Amino acid sequence: MTSTRLPGKVLKAIGGKSVLHYHLERLKQSGFPVYIATTTNASDDPVIEFCKAQDIAYYRGDEQNVLSRYYGCAKENELDIVVRVTSDCPLIAPELVKNGIEIYLKTRNPSLYLSNALERTFPRGFDFEIFSYALLERAFFEATRPEDLEHVTPYIHQNRTGDIQFYHYLHSEDKSNYRITLDTPEDFELLQALIEDYQADKLTGREIITLLDQHPELVAINAQIEQKKLTS
């Protein structure tokens, strides 16, 4: 709720529902359980009230040490595999997440890191990362750099353990210039148009990409926004 560029963004409403509600509705379509890892800050109490109302499992932890928050959530719920997504992606594509999980499971490799964001070909807003609880636990106990603690997975995907294998989940075409995440008022304007005017919340990820291909005026709404960089 304390986003610097758009405070309260995950509970901002579009078409009568919050951004977080759309996000969770789509993730549930993957068929896997969903957990919200939020902070102990009083400012995030509205997120907890939302979780209780929607019967969504949640965990509260440190605001800055997001790695510890993920680890605590995974440990408390006895998870074997973690799929990391961020709540500012209301149009995340559940079919892509599900397919990524199926690919990951087939490898039977606890040292594998699978993601569609490290080598980006999908729009920003479809991002997911998949890794084992064992890797998360190792990062929790070994990572010390501020960016590792804040951004959860750099210790893993920068291969500082030295033994990580990678699977880059790629789109057939490079659509990385499309931005359907929520960080700024311009992002909100685009998401509002997509959902209210085009019912994008009912579309698959590939259908959303096709929609953006057909409407460059939508892409232009937030094309100038730059993603915040990792800080050290």
| pLDDT at res. 232 | 43
The architecture (CATH level 2) of 9-175 comes to Alpha-Beta Complex (3.90)
pLDDT, tens digit, 9 for 90 and up, residues 132-171: 999 999 999 999 999 999 999 999 999 999 999 999 999 9
In whole angstroms, how far apart are CA 70 and each of 58, 67, 149, 168, 201? 11, 5, 10, 22, 27
| pLDDT at res. 228 | 64
Regions of the chain short of the pLDDT cut 70:
228-232
**Pairwise CA distance, residues 139 & 11, whole Å:** 30
| Percent of the chain with pLDDT strictly greater than 70 | 97
